[in-house]
Amino acid sequence: MRESVDSLIERIREALGAEWLPELYRKKVRSQRTRSYLLDIRGAEREPEILHTLLGIEVKVGRRRFACPDLATARYIRIFARLGCREFAVPYDISKISRIADELETSWQRTLLVAAEVSSRRPPRSAMLIGRKLVSVMREEIESIGAGEPMPAFDTRTRQRKK
């Protein structure tokens, strides 16, 4: 008897363990001070591009282009564009984005490898269905975790001169 798509997705999730992309997002990104980022796209894009233009770095998703302050942020945004996430959190501290982008990209590549291994004995159409469902499950989990506030709260007290 063949396994259902949902059970195969669960096997992929278990194989990845702590490296499951939504879990990394929850622990590494949402656990710190973040700001929300709105990516105005329609759905998951198979291969969003990072472009180096005269005006700086951009992420091209379909026909849309999004300006990025640096390459690390562009790599970070590209991960969520692949999943079709419209709104997600970006670490406020830019020095942490590169490391987190590395971890998320590694998780994405491992997910693709495990998914290919799990669906290797299935017909190509079925393997494609598993891939789509996998992206959909990850997108839904990231949406349920949330993007947070548009700007982080700065609750630290500062010394002010007394009048």
Domain limits, the chain: 5-145
- Angle subtended by helix axes 71-83 and 124-145, to nearest 10: 120
What is the reported pTM?
Answer: 0.86
Chain-centroid distance of CA 50 in Å reads 15
Give the separation between CA 27 and CA 67, rounded to whole angstroms: 27
First to last CA, the chain: 79
pLDDT digits (tens, 9 = 90+) for 106-162: 999 999 999 999 988 888 888 899 999 999 999 999 999 988 777 666 666 666 666
Give the separation between CA 98 and CA 69, rounded to whole angstroms: 12
